[in-house]
Structure 1
Amino acid sequence: MANTEQLYKHYLNHPTICTDTRTITKGCLFFALKGENFDANTFALQAIEQGAAFAIVDNEEYAKNDQCILVPDVLTALQDLAKHHRKQLTIPVIGLTGSNGKTTTKELIRAVLAERFKTFATKGNLNNHIGVPLSILSMQSDIEIAVIEMGANHQKEIEFLCEIAQPTHGLITNVGMAHLDGFGGFEGVKKGKAELFAYLKAQHGFAFINRNNPYLLEMSERADLNKVIYYGTEKENAVSGELKNSDPLIEFNWSTKGKNHEAKANLTGTYNFENILAAICIGNFFDLTPSQINNGLANYFPTNNRSQLTKTENNTLICDFYNANPSSMTAALNNLKALSAEHKIAIIGDMFELGAEGPEQHEIVVELAAQNELSTLFIGKSFYEFKDKYPGQFFSSPADAANHLQDNPIKGKLVLLKGSRGMALEQLLPLL
């Protein structure tokens, strides 16, 4: 059985990690992970034949030759290897979590810091018990600063990911009504996210806190943090800001040390202003100039259907359907109401992982759309339950909605698309 130190010697010679035979690169280390419906041990020899230098397996039956390295458990070996590699790095690592806006905030921070530093940031949303180790092991010796996104759907998960990523600095974007089923309600969400603060407290790390968020203030005070940098709209913060316009893109002023600066961002949604301020605060903390910070913000363009403004032949779309929960859905609908476009419509899909609170939370969203007097298409089984109770058009599936849009095309409107990832609302884009 190989131990972590032995694996690390192989990693130093072969620093590319693969977990899927469809992405094998020559000279990589293939970790044969198990899933609910597969056992990658069975692909170990195939990975070697495709060019992997070694395959790490935990089933002796598949340790066929010297290129197959046997360990007690492949996932644990991957996580321990990442921990070991992280300990060799003496750079600042910013740990990032939150209910909403994690990936957008991470990308904003990356864009800002990259104006001065060789910066690493989590690719996509590789933010779980597999993604975080893969992210850490993607960090090479020339990296000067890193931003590691950490996601969670139950308590103790952030605590575990902190042990792998070992953040020196940290940020919780917000706490909201997300993954209620796994966390056991909103108080469970707060407790789970606060595990980042507990880690930073124990390791004497720095926390960046949005002073406008009462939940974050409460959580930081409870954690008794002693290294805190505040941002928000009030002048006493290390960085403060004032939103000037968000119709549809954000324009604002920000200040630090008594000096004011004007800036713009390629983002829509008032809810993104606090994410922008977080990136400015972190850039300012790491001594970037105001010009570098503003350049970084201006160079960031949202992708992957997160607050992404897109113009088609027929409409202007706000594509914000990478994921959804009651908090982010409320923010998106309120933002749509506030925009000055004359013709607006919301196309929203079911929100997942809400457990017993699902029916109530979906009804709250339907009520909000009605109160905001928004023309709305509701899609999914959870929303469909309210078709006889509220105004709007209700469809039990995206396919039914697609058929409707084919027969009743939308033209000349500002369209918000928002829903959980599993609703796959991207299938409606060709019809808009």
Structure 2
Amino acid sequence: MAYTLSTLCARLGLAEPALGPGTLIRHLSFDSRRIVDAPATLFFALSGQRDGHDYLDEAHLAGIRNFVVKKGHPRPELAESTILEHEDPLGALQSIAAYHRDHLTFPVLGITGSNGKTVVKEWLFHLLSEKYTVGRSPKSYNSQIGLPLSVWQLNPDLDLALIEAGISTKNEMSRLAVIARPQLGLFTGIGAAHDEGFADLREKIREKLKLFEGAEMLVYPFDQEVLRDEILQWAQGQSVHLLGWSKRGEGDLNIHTEESTNGTYIDVGDLRLEIPFKDAASIDNACSCLSFLIARNEDLNPFMEAFKTLPEIEMRLQLMNGHNNSRILNDAYSADLSSLEIALQFLKKQAGNRNRSVILSSLQEEGRDSETTWNTLRQLLNAYAVNKIYLVGKAYFEKRPDFGIPAVYYESTRQMLAQIDPHTFRDEMVLVKGRRDFAFEKIVRVLEAQVHETVLEIDLNALERNFLYFKNQVKAGTKIMPMVKAQGYGSGSLEIARQLQTAGADYLGVAYTDEGIELRRNGISLPIMVMNARRDSLAECVDYALEPVVYDFDFLHFLKDTLDRNGLPSASIHLEFDTGMHRLGFQQNELEPLLAELAADGRFKVASVFSHLAAADEKEHDAYTLKQIETFGVIRESFLKQSVQTPLFHILNTAGILRFSSFAFDMVRLGIGLYGIEASADMPGILHPVASLKAKISQIRALDAGETVGYSRKGQVQEKSRVAVISIGYADGFRRSLSNGRGAVWINGKLAPTLGNVCMDMVMVDVSAISCKEGDAVEIFGLNLPIEELARRAETIPYEIITGISSRVNRVYFRE
């Protein structure tokens, strides 16, 4: 949905702009690094940890021409731009989001609480999406900025929206409630998180309840007594239906839980469902979801299977390997008694026969009454049979409280890091639980065992910049279909798809049906074209709203039979024509009978018509490329004359976008260039490398002249040399053809050539002229050693290198 700039000015009480009052605004932004569609974006200069006014030039350079700034604040000259001065840019952002909310007619579920908001939201999305078109807040967008952006991105044609709201101090929820205005409410529970922003727990509950002023329904955990008392008192002045769920048999809805082989059974009346989790937090979150469905009077039977497949949401609690057969339970981002008990429950379940140790920072409750807090902590440690505790914080260090078990005290995280030996933990389960300000992630890094030192680092900033670069190469309105086949060219299709969906892609392309299903199961809603759908997967393809490519009559007939056999009413398809690639595709002279057959059947929506360019990256074949484009243009004209359907037409790949952008038609397919790999020699150095493959030096040894290295003694040194053993081999994707000096790696600013044959798990390189030591980082390809150079040495193409990176190589995603 879009609004004219003039309309938004009226909403803010500002005069109509002189420049571009009819400009349609589709996007609101406050981050100059994350601009998707600059001409249709309104940029807000917000003041926080960073002052948005300092980034106005950068936003302008990115193409933004419409700005909301603080009245009277110094700012640069922004040529050909509309500058809207407002007393409160954040308030302006919230007001515009509230205006959009005025135009939404579907019900909104507001979700708040101290813990579990994001998980409950994501699980409800998982459960309800099978039946309804559901919108939701991205990730944990629940703040004064995140919530209005969440509301703004809601489409008016949804059946239901799930909006998460979080606060850290008084008077914040009132502003969010005006924007969200939920008719339905869900309170996940109350704990000590952000206690410092409120006088007491009851005040915090009352503040959170402001989200539900005017709501018709509120679901909450009845067994939390203080929360229940405050909700019952609040409801006396509200016309609201309350549903309090209880595991004690005392609520409006009584739930019984029982551990099962694969997780937990949840019983309500005569109905039993199962979830694939056993920890207390997940059980409570599932009970909240179930209670909401019951409050909505949903028939639960269709949701039974979906409960069994509730996904593991990537949250703060992580289980990882430590040294000496120890396991590390990472919860290094919060520390309050409520979440500590949940973590201790999980610790107890996971520990088995291992001893249990806890590394704990100062608790959030300590500021009010440390003695009471420590007494409760003592009870928890005893109840969950913790064997030893490591306490980090000034009060612990100075007062040395006794918790009835062996304890070690540190004044700060820095002191613990300086003194602790990670190898002292042996056959233990170690919970690391700390407030964010203690930076316990540094402790986790020390304790975690490094299973494989080779990693593929994926720069999501670079991916987005490349996407926007190609988007700007074609005329406005041209749709972009990034290809995420072959695990996103080796970079991880799901993570890449999520990033592209956020960045503004219009379509996604995959090779096989199972790749598309994986994306759908993980919340990717963009249209997805399947290039090579297997015939036995076509029913699933249609079930998951995937769109197969049809390239000959035989395949079309099989698809028709599939619809008949499975009672499927229709399917969206893409038609491929062969204009010179001579791989797959209908011939030009088959267009007329093809259109006649499609029209007679009536069940197929032609989403797009496309062809492949055979040599768009090579100048010597430009005449051939132009002939292909000409042929495709004729096919397009004939199609539109003979058919009532108006599909998208596309022929350009990455090289085609760079070299033949005037022939973009309706859409372009973006492949290898998205990942920062040059598809044409015409434009070197423009793209940003997305993937960097890195390893470590495992060992360095000295060899005398004449000695040999590796299998079959293929590598012989001619003089006294230093040889480094690197933690990567052909099983990781470092090709054996790079043996004996044909390959090289980058170490501390210099190239180190390979010595001997590449082994399965390692490779040896000559570091005689390089200052380095064991443990130093090694770049296999990246910023210093481009993947194109590695491919040249291996006598192959970058496509083969990047897609050949083994699944055992850990993918690490980062964003500045």
* Interval containing the TM-score (normalised by the shorter chain): 0.7 to 0.9
Any conservation in 2 of the 1:181–1:355 contact (CA below 8 Å)?
A: no
Name the residue aligned to 2:209.
194
Deviations 1:175-201, CA, capped at 9 Å, x for gaps: 23333332112232232233234x0xx
Aligned pairs for 1:156-305 (under 5 A) are 156-197=171-212, 199=213, 203-223=214-234, 224=236, 225=238, 226-233=240-247, 240-245=254-259, 250-255=263-268, 258-266=269-277, 269-286=279-296, 287=298, 289-296=300-307, 298-305=309-316
| Cα distance change, pair 406–24 in 1 and its aligned pair in 2 (3 A) | farther
Q: Does 1:384 align with 2:394?
A: no
SS of residue paired to 1:194: helix
Deviations 1:27-64, CA, capped at 9 Å, x for gaps: 232211112x5431232232021133522222455374
SS of residue paired to 1:327: helix
Any conservation in 1 of the 2:320–2:328 contact (CA below 8 Å)?
A: yes
SS of residue paired to 1:20: coil
Alpha-carbon distance, 1:370 to partner: 4.7
Paired with 2:304 and 2:64, the residues of 1 have a C-alpha distance of 41
Alpha-carbon distance, 1:288 to partner: 5.5
Q: More displaced, 143-152 or 377-386?
A: 377-386
Any conservation in 2 of the 1:180–1:355 contact (CA below 8 Å)?
A: no
Paired with 1:66 and 1:128, the residues of 2 have a C-alpha distance of 33
Paired with 2:408 and 2:376, the residues of 1 have a C-alpha distance of 14
Q: Does 1:320 align with 2:334?
A: no
Name the residue aligned to 2:81.
67
Name the residue aligned to 2:578.
none
Alpha-carbon distance, 1:371 to partner: 2.7
SS of residue paired to 1:21: coil
Aligned pairs for 1:72-151 (under 5 A) are 72=86, 73-151=88-166
Root-mean-square deviation (Å)? 3.3
Paired with 1:119 and 1:23, the residues of 2 have a C-alpha distance of 25
Name the residue aligned to 1:4.
11
Query: What letter is aligned with 1:184?
Result: A
Any conservation in 1 of the 2:273–2:307 contact (CA below 8 Å)?
A: no
Query: What letter is aligned with 1:56?
Result: V
Alpha-carbon distance, 1:292 to partner: 2.4
Q: Does 1:24 align with 2:35?
A: yes
**Normalised TM-score (structure 1):** 0.84
Paired with 2:376 and 2:53, the residues of 1 have a C-alpha distance of 45
Query: What letter is aligned with 1:350?
Result: S
| Cα distance change, pair 293–348 in 1 and its aligned pair in 2 (3 A) | farther
Paired with 1:144 and 1:411, the residues of 2 have a C-alpha distance of 53
Q: Looking at CA atoms only, which structure, 1 or 2, has the larger radius of gyration?
A: 2
Q: Larger % of helix: which? A: 1
Deviations 1:361-396, CA, capped at 9 Å, x for gaps: 652354235534412222233443443644312223
| Cα distance change, pair 59–119 in 1 and its aligned pair in 2 (3 A) | same
Name the residue aligned to 2:412.
397
Q: More displaced, 184-193 or 74-83?
A: 184-193
Any conservation in 2 of the 1:329–1:365 contact (CA below 8 Å)?
A: no
Name the residue aligned to 2:434.
419
Paired with 1:294 and 1:239, the residues of 2 have a C-alpha distance of 22
| Cα distance change, pair 416–152 in 1 and its aligned pair in 2 (3 A) | same
Query: What letter is aligned with 1:397?
Result: S
Any conservation in 2 of the 1:243–1:253 contact (CA below 8 Å)?
A: yes
Paired with 1:107 and 1:10, the residues of 2 have a C-alpha distance of 38
Alpha-carbon distance, 1:403 to partner: 4.1
Alpha-carbon distance, 1:244 to partner: 1.7
Alpha-carbon distance, 1:85 to partner: 0.8
Paired with 2:280 and 2:329, the residues of 1 have a C-alpha distance of 13
SS of residue paired to 1:120: strand
Paired with 1:84 and 1:371, the residues of 2 have a C-alpha distance of 53
Paired with 2:381 and 2:45, the residues of 1 have a C-alpha distance of 50
Unaligned runs of at least 5 residues, structure 1: none
Paired with 1:241 and 1:360, the residues of 2 have a C-alpha distance of 36
Paired with 1:428 and 1:241, the residues of 2 have a C-alpha distance of 39
Any conservation in 2 of the 1:25–1:52 contact (CA below 8 Å)?
A: no
**Normalised TM-score (structure 2):** 0.47
Alpha-carbon distance, 1:216 to partner: 3.0
- Percent pairwise identity: 24
Alpha-carbon distance, 1:66 to partner: 4.5
Query: What letter is aligned with 2:331?
Result: D
Any conservation in 2 of the 1:82–1:133 contact (CA below 8 Å)?
A: yes
Q: More displaced, 140-149 or 333-342?
A: 333-342
Any conservation in 2 of the 1:243–1:250 contact (CA below 8 Å)?
A: no
Any conservation in 2 of the 1:112–1:297 contact (CA below 8 Å)?
A: no
Aligned pairs for 1:337-356 (under 5 A) are 337=348, 341-343=352-354, 344-352=356-364, 354=365, 356=367
